[in-house]
Structure formats: C-alpha cells, structure tokens
Amino acid sequence: MASDGSVVIIGGNRGIAREIAQHYADAGRAVVITCTDGADAQEAASAIGGRTTGLELNLTRPETIGPVLSSVAGPIDYLVIAAISRDDNKVRDYDIAKALELVTLKLVGYTEVVHSLLDRMTDDTAIVLFGGLAKDRPYPGSTTVSTVNGGVVALTRTLATELAPIRVNAIHPGIVGNSPYWKDKSLDHVIARTPTGRLTTMADVTDAVRFLLENRSVNGVDLRVDGGWMIT
Ligand SMILES: NC(=O)c1ccc[n+]([C@@H]2O[C@H](COP(=O)([O-])OP(=O)(O)OC[C@H]3O[C@@H](n4cnc5c(N)ncnc54)[C@H](OP(=O)(O)O)[C@@H]3O)[C@@H](O)[C@H]2O)c1
C-alpha cells in the first residue's frame, strides 16, 4: 500500500461494501463507512471494529454530500462507492420519482462524492465505482438500473481522464448469490447459465475490488466478475 491513508467506503454498513470495509479494517486501516442512517452507520462501524467510523450520508441529496464528507480525515488512499437503491421501473408504467432517485444517487451522487473528497486525495489514490451487469443483460423493469450502470462505465472513463494520475476503475458483478438482496431467492437458472457452475460471492467481489484498488497499473477498467455468465 502506498501509505497509511484512510479507506472510504460509501455504502459500507451492509452487503458487499461491508465485506470490503471488514477486509481493510482487519488489515489495520482507518476505514470510514456510510449509509443513510447515522445510528446504523455507527453500529456497523463498531461491529466491523478496528479504526472504523460511520457517517450518515444520502446520495439522493447531492448538495449535502460535501458538508458531510468534510469530516473525513486525509489523506485518502482508497475510495469505494457502492451505494444503490433498487428501482424496479418499467417504461410502460414509468415512475419518474423512483427513476430520479436512482439516477441522482448513482450518477450525480457518485460524482459529488469524488468531488467532495478530492482535496484529500493524493496522486496515489485509487477509486472503484460499482456498476452491474444489468447494463449488458437487461430484464423487464431494469431500465433505470441498466441506464445508470451504463453511465458508470462513462463516468469511470471521464474521471480517470480528468483526475489522472489518480486511478479510477469500475466493477460490474454478476448476481452475487450470498449478498443480502439475493441470498433467499431462487437462482438455479443463473447457476445453470454460469460456466463456473456457481454463483459469484461477496468474497469474490471483495478480492476483485482489492485488485482494482491496489494494482498500480490498472486504470480505466470495467471489470466483470460473474463466473463467465456474460459469455453464455
Ligand atoms: N448484490 C448483487 O448481486 C449485485 C450485482 C451487481 C451489482 N451490484 C452492485 O454492487 C453494489 C452493492 O450492492 P449490494 O447488493 O451489496 O448493496 P445493498 O446490500 O443493497 O446495500 C446498499 C447500500 O447502499 C446504501 N444506500 C441506499 N440508498 C442510499 C442513498 N440514498 N444514499 C446513500 N447510500 C444509500 C445502503 O444504505 P442503507 O442501509 O442506509 O439503506 C447500503 O449501504 C451496488 O452498487 C449494486 O448495484 C450488486
């Protein structure tokens, strides 16, 4: 690692991002996690342990992001932005409010997080943005999800260009079978279509995020982590 700067994980109270936070906390790093509720954030931070702190942050209110993140100490070595609110939204029955929430969260919110923390980043800072494979494999109701995940691809490229030498990469997991959202759902059809014959796990995604953050020549990459699901 370049230094002992902090690791900021947006959405680190649960799900995949929590596993990433746990990894870096266990490695002795100062970790900052966020979620939409301050008490939840603090509870998760103390359960993760080590030098972890929790902040309340709502990416659907981008004007509040800078003030909230002003308390994060620099330098920041790694920034992971993984927050999501799921929008099951069909074009024939379009819910504008729900669509605006997700578009604001993933595109404006993600960008404003980077903007707000930039003054504490160094040339060696690395950023990972979370997209997802709904961008390539849509399903009825995924219109907003597919659109914003496609937007993450473009956002990764423009940020890597504008912020160089800071590295910016994106990760696009397939269905993560043991993540809280999917763990109780029937996924046999996904396994049957996955060449590895198993579902991607949160540990697999955490390992891939570490690679994107820590390999100093990996930049501007959209990394698929799906057991080969997309080649079938
Ligand atoms: N799980 C999968 O199979 C899968 C597949 C492909 C891509 N992904 C991507 O991987 C990332 C993590 O997914 P996950 O399933 O681990 O997530 P998750 O368990 O659903 O957790 C979502 C996180 O986002 C936070 N969040 C929700 N609304 C927010 C808002 N308005 N402002 C700020 N934070 C907000 C949540 O905080 P609260 O607890 O306060 O709500 C929580 O920390 C997401 O970007 C997702 O699109 C996941």
Residue 175 has pLDDT above 60, yes or no: yes
pLDDT of residue 145: 96
What is the best residue among 35, 100, 103 to mutate for testing ligand 1's pocket, by most ligand atoms within 8 Å of CB? 35
> Buried b / exposed e across 177-211, counting CB within 10 Å, b at 16+?
bebeeeeeeeeeebeeebeeeebbbbebbbebbbb
The atom number, within ligand 1, closest to the CA of 36 reads 40
- How much is the average pLDDT of 183-197? 97
pLDDT at residue 2 tops 80: no
**Tally of CB atoms within 10 A around 135:** 20
What residues are in contact with ligand 1 under a 6 Å CB criterion?
Answer: 11, 13-17, 35-37, 40, 57-60, 82-85, 105, 130, 132, 173, 175-176, 179-182
Q: What is the pLDDT of residue 10?
A: 98
Closest protein CA for atom 18 of ligand 1: 15
How far is the centre of ligand 1, averaged over its atoms, from the C-alpha of 110 (Å)?
Answer: 12
| 3-state DSSP assignment of residue 76 | strand
Whether 98 shows a pLDDT value over 70: the answer reads: yes
Residue whose Cα lies nearest atom 21 of ligand 1: it is 15
DSSP annotation of 131 reads -
- 138 Cα to the center of ligand 1, angstroms: 18
Residue 82 CA to ligand 1 centre (angstroms)? 6
- Mean per-residue pLDDT for 160-188? 97
* Ligand 1 mean position, distance from CA 83 (Å): 4
Compute, in angstroms, the gap from residue 56 CA to the centroid of ligand 1.
14
Burial class (CB in 10 A: 0-12, 13-18, 19+), 38: middle
- Per-residue pLDDT, 87: 87
Q: Is the pLDDT of residue 199 over 80?
A: yes
Probe residue for ligand 1, chosen from 9, 16, 155 as the CB with the greatest number of ligand atoms within 8 Å? 16
Instruction: Take residue 144 and report the two structure tokens written for it.
Output: 């907003």
Cα–Cα dist 107/104, whole Å: 6
Ligand 1 centre to CA of 175 (Å) is 13
Predicted pLDDT of residue 1: 46
Does the pTM exceed 0.75? yes
**Helix locations, the chain, DSSP H:** 15-26, 38-48, 65-69, 96-103, 110-117, 143-162, 188-192, 202-214
C-alpha–C-alpha distance, residues 203 and 168, integer Å: 21
Please give the structure tokens belonging to residue 73: 């100490």
